[in-house]
Amino acid sequence: MARLGISQEKIQKKGAEFHKSYLAFQKDLSKYKKVSNAQLIPITDQLEVYRSNLDCKPGCSYCCHYRVTAFTHEIVAIYLHIHNTFTPKQLNRIKEKIIKTASTVSCMSEEERISTNVECPMLIDDRCSTYSVRPMSCAGFHSTSLEFCKRQFQGSDEINGASAWIMKIGESLLIERSIADNVIRHTKQDHSQYELVTSLATLLKKPSLIAKWRKTGKPIFSNATV
């Protein structure tokens, strides 16, 4: 933790603060029903200040081996993106990877998944091939310590993954997710989040589910609940 310059005690305190913020957001989701651009701009300005402290770089992909959860619209966006922008060869390749990875993770318990580095099928040459439409949980993930990410990847369970986060960025991720959750609830759509790879494989096998979701807003990924 030398690079972070903080003690284990402080890290635990930080984790507890995150948890407290999360519970507060969960308790009062309606608070974020009406968020104007004027309120959001100061948050994004602050993020610019913190950007220089981040160790995240293109080509670094340790975090793309975690389990990702996403809202239905995010999963549909990835499905449409690969169908609209990939060449037939790229599309076949990624479809194969998604289905193969889904069959691997579907046999794993939650504990096994957490302790195993399963590469996200959208990762190609250590870069996200669906970067412009990656889920919010990927976009908000970040690290102040490459060494910390390496240790986590190698199986260290010293502390949880959010400990190398910048509090303000973590909080803004929670706010964004709360806003998305509220908007989806408001439109009476399914606001659950699903395991990304299993749900994408489901869409690849049965694309008609997209039309069903658009028409009814009802859940379509019962096999990918988290």
Binding positions for ligand SF4, rule: CB under 6 A: 64, 68, 120, 122-123, 128, 130, 134, 138
Q: How far is the CB of 143 from ligand SF4 (least distance, A)?
A: 13
Q: How far is the CB of 121 from ligand SF4 (least distance, A)?
A: 7
- Bridge partners of residue 123, in order along the sequence: 128
Q: Please report which residue ranges of the chain form alpha helices under DSSP H.
A: 8-27, 37-51, 72-85, 88-106, 110-115, 136-139, 146-153, 167-186, 196-205, 208-216
Question: Three-class SS of residue 204?
Answer: helix
Q: Are 194 and 106 in contact (CB under 8 A)?
A: no
Of 32 and 148, the one with the shorter C-beta distance to ligand SF4 is: 148
Of 68 and 76, the one with the shorter C-beta distance to ligand SF4 is: 68
Q: How far apart are CA 127 and CA 131, in angstroms?
A: 8
Q: Are 194 and 63 in contact (CB under 8 A)?
A: no
Q: How far is the CB of 185 from ligand SF4 (least distance, A)?
A: 24
Q: How far apart are the first and last CA of the chain?
A: 31
Q: How far is the CB of 194 from ligand SF4 (least distance, A)?
A: 13
Q: How far is the CB of 120 from ligand SF4 (least distance, A)?
A: 3
Of 64 and 203, the one with the shorter C-beta distance to ligand SF4 is: 64
Q: How far is the CB of 217 from ligand SF4 (least distance, A)?
A: 24
Q: How far apart are CA 60 and CA 127, in angstroms?
A: 8
Note the Cα 152 to chain centre separation in Å: 17
Of 64 and 76, the one with the shorter C-beta distance to ligand SF4 is: 64
Of 130 and 182, the one with the shorter C-beta distance to ligand SF4 is: 130
Q: How far apart are CA 1 and CA 118, in angstroms?
A: 25
Of 29 and 54, the one with the shorter C-beta distance to ligand SF4 is: 54
Q: How far apart are CA 222 and CA 219, in angstroms?
A: 7
